[in-house]
Amino acid sequence: MRFSFVSLVVLLAAGAAWAQAVAPAAPPVPERTPLQAHLTGPIPPLVKVEIVGNTIPQPLTQQPGDPARGRRVIADASNSTCLICHEVPALAELPDQGKIAPPLEGLGSRYTAAELRLRLVNAKLITPDTMMPAYYRTEGLTRVQPQFAGRTIYSAQDIEDAIAFLLTIK
Amino acid sequence: MRARAAFLLACAAVLAATAAHAQGWPIARYSVEGRNSGYFYLGQQTRLLQDDDFQNPGMFAVDAGAAAWRRVDGTQGRSCASCHQNAAETMKGVATRYPAYDAKSGGILNLELVINRERVEKMGAAPLVYESPELLAMTSYISHQSRGLPKAVDITGPAAPFFEQGKDFWSTRRGQIDISCAMCHDDRPGMLLRGDTISQGQTNGHPMYRLIWHTISSTHRMFEWCNTSMRAEPYPLGSPVYLALELYVAWRGRGLPVETPSVRK
């Protein structure tokens, strides 16, 4: 009895010493908006994409792209979004637009949906050195945080909706 | 009329006294051969906050460190001052040389880890938790003794492999966002990332008072924040990986003056 009490004290002291030696808890995970349901909960199955030249001709979802929802996806500042790096004059009401990459102007006049789809899914397949994240890719990444492993930045529907919105920018 | 003149004179005296306590270097001093301190990219208000020691919130950590310097702790009945006496003399220039290779441990040590080693080995005191107010205060106080002196870390000899490791880390794309340190801090400083101006990621002002965190903060906390912003798994603060990175980043900023405590957004 006495022995176990001593052991307990030693264990508690060791625990306290260990607690001293470890770093404070990891930083808080940002809250996810309803548009980011694919970043929490069950991991959605990955849609297989077929690349033809500089395009992905087939939509990733059965449901056609919704430009109004695509606008909200792109405006959702708490996810990685176009506005971090690109100015989007069509969303001029949104503050703090980035100026790292070219402004997103006239996309609907210059690109087809199939061309924009590859650029969103993985722009590195066109420009390997680009800084632009691949919005629909899970493989070949380094040290992804566990909560994001196997998940894409945008859902398949986000990709289609974003394309539908970007095509409205003439 | 006379009262008004006296009042103006008093105002001028207060301003002059404040200026005497300000860092207030010419802006050219924050750039060395194209290497720019984070100060260079700050707005005017944040610069003024750093410049004035009475306003700079990082000075609270420096003051806390000054008090702790003379406080006896541990089984040996010693304080830092028992051996190192007046920090203004004995610690001057020390922060410019860290991180550095340590032959005894065979690895890189930064100021935080040296403080803890001294506490354990010389004072018989418990190591301070990384990023605790106590460790940040002591690191800030010691770094502050080198304010104005140029960063000059040694990357030769046994430090070289750690330097290379840090350099590799810097240029490796990471996380779900898949972006390396270099893509922003080497290739795009001065550009706007959302509303924020990208800096060169220099550490000469660290520990810094970071306004969005409302606290004095270490270099490793900043590494952790940058990693998790890329949705990359961070390494523990004080880990060998971050120490190697800290060595590389300190070398990137060679010649930049120590600013501790700096104020950053």
- What local confidence, expressed as pLDDT, does residue B17 receive? 45
- What local confidence, expressed as pLDDT, does residue A26 receive? 60
CATH number at residue B88: 1.10.760.10
CA angle A10, A15, A19 (to 5 degrees): 150
Output the six-digit token pair for B35: 């290497």
Residues of B in contact with A97 (CB under 8 A): 192, 194
CA distance A123 to A127: 6
Q: Is residue B15 part of a domain?
A: no
The DSSP bridge partners found for residue A144 are B232
B247-257 pLDDT, tens digit per residue, is 999 999 999 99
CA A73 to chain centre: 11
Cβ distance of A100 and B192 shorter than 8 Å: yes
Its domain, for residue B161, covers 35-264
Confidence of residue B24 (pLDDT cuts 50, 70, 90): confident
Cβ distance of B177 and A100 shorter than 8 Å: no
Closest residue in B to A23 (Cα–Cα): B130
Q: How many CB pairs under 8 A join A and B?
A: 89
pLDDT mean over B27-54: 97
B188-221 pLDDT, tens digit per residue, is 999 999 989 999 999 999 999 999 999 999 999 9
Residues of A in contact with B175 (CB under 8 A): 141-145, 148
- What local confidence, expressed as pLDDT, does residue A36 receive? 87
Residue to substitute from B231, B235, B239, interface A, most A β-carbons within 10 A: B231
Is residue A47 exposed (0-12), middle (13-18) or buried (19+ Cβ within 10 Å)?
middle
Closest residue in B to A153 (Cα–Cα): B176
Q: Is residue B9 part of a domain?
A: no
- Tell me the nearest-neighbour CA distance from B193 into chain A, angstroms: 5
More confident residue, A168 or B3: A168
Residues of B in contact with A134 (CB under 8 A): 178
Q: Is residue B20 part of a domain?
A: no
> Interface pTM (ipTM) of the complex?
0.87
Q: Is residue B3 part of a domain?
A: no
Mapping DSSP to helix (H, G, I), strand (E, B) and coil, where does residue A52 land?
A: strand
More confident residue, A13 or B233: B233
Q: Is residue B82 part of a domain?
A: yes
Q: Which of B130, B132, B174 sits opposite A142 (nearest CB)?
A: B174
- What local confidence, expressed as pLDDT, does residue B6 receive? 59
Cβ distance of A144 and B234 shorter than 8 Å: no
- What local confidence, expressed as pLDDT, does residue B12 receive? 52
Q: Is residue B84 part of a domain?
A: yes
Structural domains in chain A, CATH included, are 49-167 (1.10.760.10)
- Tell me the nearest-neighbour CA distance from B15 into chain A, angstroms: 36
Cβ distance of A23 and B236 shorter than 8 Å: yes
Q: Is residue B101 part of a domain?
A: yes
pTM beyond cutoff 0.95: no
- What local confidence, expressed as pLDDT, does residue A20 receive? 44
Which residues of chain A register pLDDT less than 70? 1-30
Cβ distance of A141 and B176 shorter than 8 Å: yes
Total structural domains within chain B? 1
Q: Which long-range contacts link A45-51 to residues 24+ away (Cβ below 8 Å)?
A: A46/A138, A46/A150, A46/A152, A47/A136, A47/A156, A49/A117, A49/A121, A49/A136, A51/A118, A51/A125
Q: Is residue B21 part of a domain?
A: no
